[in-house]
């Protein structure tokens, strides 16, 4: 077995193995782990190599990163919106103060 990174012709068609290069489809499958930093360093390198040449996937990663950040922000705050009663109380207090 050669493990020293010899180039070969990629005749193992049909297998999804991001050991040579990733395709857009593979990147879409890996993007969640990529954004969370959960990829193997070697796979991470191949994802980043793909991002250098593929604007589509850069945009995709940005969108996914923003989505995850939003979700994490919501988790921290508990509920995404204050209940209507709290809003009404806040407005009443503001009206009374000013």
Residues that bind Zn ion (CB under 5 A): 24, 54, 57
Kindly tell me which of 31 and 57 has the beta carbon lying closer to Zn ion: 57
- For 33-36, which contacts have Cβ atoms below 8 Å and span 24 or more sequence positions? 34/61, 35/61, 35/64, 35/65, 35/68, 36/68
Q: What is the CA radius of gyration of the chain?
A: 23
Q: How far is the CB of 64 from Zn ion (least distance, A)?
A: 13
Cβ proximity to Zn ion, 59 vs 91, nearer residue: 59
Strand (E) or helix (H) holding 29: helix 24-36
For Zn ion, the closer CB: 21 or 89: 21
- In whole angstroms, the minimum distance from the beta carbon of 58 to Zn ion comes to 8
């Amino acid at each position: 077995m050669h493990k020293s990174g010899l180039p070969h012709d990629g005749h193992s068609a049909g297998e999804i193995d991001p050991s040579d290069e990733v395709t857009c489809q593979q990147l879409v499958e890996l993007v969640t782990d990529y954004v969370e930093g959960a990829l193997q360093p070697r796979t991470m390198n191949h994802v980043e190599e793909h991002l250098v040449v593929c604007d589509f996937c850069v945009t995709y990663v940005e969108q996914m990163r923003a989505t995850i950040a939003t979700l994490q922000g919501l988790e921290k705050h508990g509920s995404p919106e204050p209940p209507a009663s709290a809003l009404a109380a806040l407005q009443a207090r503001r009206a009374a103060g000013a």
